[in-house]
Amino acid sequence: MFNVFPKMIIPVVIYAIVALIFGGGDAANFIGEVCRHGGEACTVGELGATLFVVPMVSGLWGLSVGDVLVILGLIFLFIELVKSAGSGTATIINHALSMLVFVLALGLFLLVELFATSTFFLIMMMTLMDTLAGFIVTIVAARRDLAVGGEG
| Phi, psi dihedral angles at 3 (to 5 degrees) | -70, -25
Residues counted in the chain: 152
Residue 103 in this model has a pLDDT that exceeds 70 = yes
Q: Name the pTM for this structure.
A: 0.77
**Whole-number average pLDDT of the chain:** 80
pLDDT digits (tens, 9 = 90+) for 31-89: 444 444 444 444 456 777 788 898 999 999 998 888 999 999 999 999 988 887 776 77
The pLDDT value given to residue 92: 82
Q: 25: pLDDT confidence band, cut at 50, 70 and 90?
A: very low
* 8 A C-beta contact, residue 83 and residue 92: no
b/e sequence 41-79, b meaning 16+ C-beta within 10 Å? ebbbbbbbbeeeeeeeeeeeeeebbbbbbbebbeebbee
Q: Note the helical H segments in the chain.
A: 9-22, 65-83, 89-111, 118-151
**Domain ranges (residues) in the chain:** 9-146
